[in-house]
Amino acid sequence: MLYLVPTPIGNLEDMTFRAIRILKEVDIILAEDTRTSAPLLKHFGIEKKVFAHHQHNEHKAVAEIIRFLKEGQDIALISDAGTPAISDPGFLLVREVIKEGLQVQCLPGATAFVPALVNSGLPNDRFCFEGFLPVKKGRQTRLKQLAEEKRTMIFYESPHRILKTITEFIEYFGEEREASISRELSKLYEETVRGTLATLKLHFEQHPIKGEFVFCVAGCS
């Protein structure tokens, strides 16, 4: 069995009992960054063989992982934070494991966009998850398409690009479009700022920009 195991996005108390049990029972753990996962595993008393599995080696590693699974070994995939394959490595491995007729199971658990969406106060009966926008090629095309999106849109963004992204959203969506930005979710300095895009731009021009951001934007009316 290949298990996809969510890990906390900040607060270690968000680790589930089931996730801890699975990580203790599997034969191998695949981690996006073994240096990041080591303190987490040590905290929960998990002592297993851990191998790096990230965007730079996942294509080469798939065949060997499938061989291990066919030999009867159970494997767990974890990312640095949150649910594997959600803006993190995992999709390629899952697809190939399924093609081989092997079993895949994703555990429920921490992910950043769900609490950010619920916290936003924006309509959440229908929404689209966009993850990280393209940095260069295709970025403007994507924004033009999203200008007509009626559902609430969810984006991930890094601190050094957040002001640029807000400015672009104002250009394509209008400065009066309602939005919400959450950062440091589940951590000590968790913050959600709500208002128009113009209001959010002013806020982050005047306050320190730290942490990882989840950006929710209302769809067009």
pLDDT tens-digit profile of 166-199?
Answer: 999 999 999 999 999 999 999 999 999 999 999 9
User: Which pLDDT score is estimated for 21?
Assistant: 98
In the numeric block, the tokens 């300095």 are attached to 189
Euclidean distance between CA atoms 76 and 106, whole angstroms: 10
CA distance 162 to 109: 26
The two tokens of residue 193 are 């700022």
Closest CA relative to residue 165, chosen from 191, 189, 130, 192:
130
What are the strands of the beta sheet with 49-52, ordered from one edge? Answer: 49-52, 28-31, 75-78, 2-4, 104-106
CA atoms within 13 A on the CB side of 216: 25
Model pLDDT, residue 136: 87
At residue 31, what are phi and psi to the nearest 5 degrees? -125, 140
Q: What is the CB neighbour count within 10 angstroms for residue 156?
A: 19
Give SS3 for 176: coil
What pLDDT, on a 0 to 100 scale, did the predictor assign at position 144? 96
Q: What is the DSSP letter of 159?
A: G
The model carries a pTM of 0.91
Strand ranges in 53-151 using DSSP code E only, listed in sequence order: 75-78, 104-106, 127-131
Look at residue 208 and tell me whether its pLDDT is greater than 90. no
Q: How crowded is the C-beta side of 176, counted as CA atoms within 13 Å?
A: 2
Q: Per residue in 43-102, pLDDT tens?
A: 999 999 899 998 778 888 899 999 999 999 999 999 999 999 999 889 999 999 999 999
Tokens coding 17: 């009992």
Q: What's the pLDDT tens digit per position in 4-40?
A: 999 999 999 999 999 999 999 999 999 999 999 999 9
Q: Give residue-wise pLDDT tens across range 121-150.
A: 999 999 999 999 999 889 999 999 999 999
Q: Write the pLDDT tens digit of every residue in 147-161.
A: 999 999 999 999 999
The first and second tokens of residue 94, run together, are 């899952």
Q: Which helix (H) or strand (E) holds 180?
A: strand 178-183
